[in-house]
Structure 1
Amino acid sequence: MIRCENVCKSFKPERGKKIIAVDELSLSVAKGEVYGCIGPNGAGKSTTIKLLLDLIRPDSGSISINDLPTSNPTSRACVGYLPENPYLYDFLTANEYLHYAGRLSNINESIITERSALLLEKLRLNQAASRRISGYSKGMQQRTAIAAALIHDPELVILDEPMSGLDPLGRKLIFDLIAELKKKGKTVFISSHVLTDIERLCDKVGIIVQGRLCYEGLLTDLTTPLEELFLHVVAEAGANEVK
């Protein structure tokens, strides 16, 4: 479903030296797989997601989704995306916002209504669906953004810090929703700092440090806790950088 081969991306500030955000990154995510992308702050996780969505383009290397190059807009028809900091039109109600998101995906009106009701109920937003989003808490806004990402029933779901700003109930609702996507055979790519969620939800994990994929493997193959592995990989990458 996702394939990155030798992808590089750098940025050059107006004043200052070039920053390498992604460095020779190669990874693949199979259909039906839940892939956890983890790494320290500034490691290149969000940049990688933006490259997958063609929001920015690589300096070199190739990226494809469902065997289509990401430069082809059709590649994104099957994708649902939750950004790390979602922007919502907060003058709309949740019902109106999901309707808007559904129309952007060219969904039939009756399907939009059906999917909206289903998602709002799953995410405990149905009682507030007719209220303006501007009156929502941060957690409710996060859940609304996730509902919008799923309104068109995408085959690939890309979630950048999906648990951000959620209370324990919200975390449980999102956790259960991701588990349901997994059960349905959807492909899910998650970037998160919550290692316990990655450990419980994901089939495979990739650890990115300083723009490089320093570890990739199945969770079932781990012989140590994920947190211990993560700290070891980050320390090793830092030591190699010093050398």
Structure 2
Amino acid sequence: MVEPFNKDSQEDQTPVSTDATIRCIQLTKIFRDFWFRNRVRAVDGIDLEVHRGEVFGLLGPNGSGKSTTIKLILGLLHASSGRALVFNRRPEDVAVKSDIGYLPEESYLYRFLNARETLEYYGKLFHQSRTQRRQRIDMLLEMVGLDAVQRRPVGEYSKGMQRRIGLAQALINDPKLLILDEPTSGLDPIGTRQIKDLILELKRRGKTILLCSHLLADVEDVCDRVAIMFGGKVQRQGTVDQLLLQQSRTTIHTEQLDSATIDQIDALLSRQGKHIDRVEQPRQKLESLFLQIVHEAQERGIQTAGVRAGGQIAGFLAEDDRLAHMPESVEAAEIIDRLTSVSDKPTPVNQVPAVGGQQSDANKVLKKLESAADQADEVASAPRQATSQSQTAKANDTPVDHALLDKLSGREKPDERKN
């Protein structure tokens, strides 16, 4: 039987790296049955380090031990042997958890709360002031593209929308370490690209990110280093370039060549004892083609229903020449800046934004609300046996604007909830 972790053991005296945000030393987790017999060795003596300010990818097929490793790093599970350190402290330390943001593989949300209430709840768990919560929630909802549907219960959200609100929840405390378990699961290609852009921008701002995924293209695009797990062990780890570079092969890119030129090149290589393996036309990535088609449709003014992207995430890589044409990039970076520097200064009560962005409309809206309230009181006081004609005779001349009331109270008609 494996002895439990002992903080006074000799292993605990091993020097730790001050540059490592996460360090696993012979980390092992064995799941046992009722009679304490070993059933599954989910994690088997792994050693890895995640350095400060890098994006580290944890790869592997289903059942390879990725999620169990993350739970050990978070302190949600106790190691059978070995240890995990986060910020050079044990993950069970409550102070450590305040600097961690976690997006689990499945978004565990209270289905009857709306998006704003969900973020309010998590903000209170981190003891944020009301002013901090309000400012951060407004910016996070705008950032993930859910500000237009923030009053809808999250139980009515699609899976992709739930991943977005889950990501906002993971960022509510402005964490130093962000752990993402399958962050792009359920997202369309546009949402996937936006999440990857956001990860790179957070890295540029000094965040450490541990990304767990089995989508290899996502990991290749954003990760600095990766570890490939199988059978509970780390089979390979290193930088993406080190793992993918084929030392024994060379690729030459040229313009279109005719058959005669290719034969001449092949003959030249043959004299050197080499040969051409294959000749092929370069292919564009399907993701790039998809995003190009959508961008062209948006340029033509074609509208679509669904989550509002807003460009806030897609433009985060303002320094990337590929995205330099996006006008929203500056606005996106400003949102991140405000998220990382929210002040406690309260907003004056009299500085309330006008409905629809026009101050002149405020009085009209208030008058309509007063008229609607008076009419509602008259209808409620009428006898239940009164016919519709008598109720109409007693009603005020000003009609009830039900659409306006529903909008201002945060309700929507059932048919409007459908994307």
* TM beyond 0.5: yes
Aligned partner of 1:206 in structure 2 is 227
CA distance in structure 2 between the partners assigned to 1:142 and 1:220 by the alignment: 30
Q: Residue in 2 aligned with 1:2?
A: 22
2:139 corresponds to 1:118:
yes
After TM superposition, give the deviation of residue 173 of structure 1 in Å: 2.2
**Residue 186 of structure 2 is aligned to residue 170 of structure 1:** no
Distance 1:205 1:156 in 2: 17
- The answer as to 2:66 corresponding to 1:45 is yes
Of 158, 176, 200, 1:179 maps to 200
Q: CA deviation at 1:171?
A: 1.1
Partner of 2:44: 23
Deviation at residue 172 of structure 1 after TM alignment: 2.1
Report the alpha carbon displacement of residue 220 of structure 1 after superposing the two structures with TM: 3.0
1:83 to 94, 101, 104: 104
1:189-227 CA deviation, whole Å, 9 max, x = no partner?
0000111111110110001111111111012323448xx
What's the secondary structure of 1:19's corresponding residue? strand
Look up the SS of the partner of 1:111 in the other structure. Answer: helix
Partners of 1:65 and 1:186 in 2: how far apart? 14
> How far apart are residue 40 of structure 1 and its match?
1.3
Which of the two has greater strand per residue? 1
Residue deviations 1:138-167 (CA, integer Å, cap 9, x gap): 110111011001111100000000011111
Question: Of the two, which has the highest radius of gyration?
Answer: 2
- CA–CA separation in structure 2 for the residues paired with 1:202 and 1:34: 5
Segments of 5+ residues of structure 1 without an aligned counterpart are 226-243
Check the 8 A contact 1:6/1:25 in 2, yes or no.
Answer: yes
Distance 1:123 1:169 in 2: 12
User: SS of 1:89's equivalent?
Assistant: coil
- Determine if contact 2:30/2:38 at 8 Å carries over to the other structure: no
- Structure 2 counterpart of 1:100: 121
Gaps of at least 5 residues in structure 2 are 1-20, 247-419
Q: Which amino acid aligns with 2:78?
A: R
Amino acid of the structure 1 residue aligned with 2:82: G
1:172-195 deviation digits (Å, cap 9, x = unpaired): 221121111111110000000111
Tell me which residue corresponds to 2:169.
148
1:117-142 alpha-carbon deviations (Å, 9 max, x no partner): 11111111010111111211111011
When the two chains are superposed, the root-mean-square deviation of aligned CA atoms in Å is 1.5
User: In structure 2, what is the Cα distance between the partners aligned to 1:199 and 1:183?
Assistant: 17
- What letter is aligned with 1:6? Q
Deviation at 1:14? Answer: 4.4
Distance 2:38 2:83 in 1: 25
Post-superposition offset of 1:17: 5.3
Task: Please give the residue correspondences for 1:47-62 in structure 2 after superposition, counting only pairs within 5 Å.
Answer: 47-62=68-83
The verdict on how the C-alpha distance between 1:9 and 1:102 changes in structure 2, with shifts beyond 3 A counting, is same
* 1:127 corresponds to 2:148: yes
Question: Per the alignment, in what secondary structure is the counterpart of residue 145 of structure 2?
Answer: coil
Paired amino acid for 1:74: A
Stretch moving more, 110-119 or 44-53? 110-119
Contact 2:163 2:186 in 1 (8 A): yes
- Selected match of 1:196 from 217, 233, 238: 217
Question: How many residue pairs were aligned?
Answer: 225
- What is the match of residue 33 of structure 2? 13
Q: Percent identity among equivalent residues? A: 44
Code of the residue aligned with 1:190 in structure 2: it is: L
Q: Which runs of 4+ in 1 moved over 6 A?
A: none
State the TM-score, normalized to the length of structure 2: 0.52
Partner in structure 2 of residue 63 of structure 1: 84
Q: Distance in 2 between matches of 1:174 and 1:106?
A: 27
- Measure the CA separation in 2 of the matches of 1:78 and 1:49: 15
Q: Secondary structure at the match of 1:26?
A: strand
Deviations 1:46-68 (A, max 9, x none): 00000011111101111111111
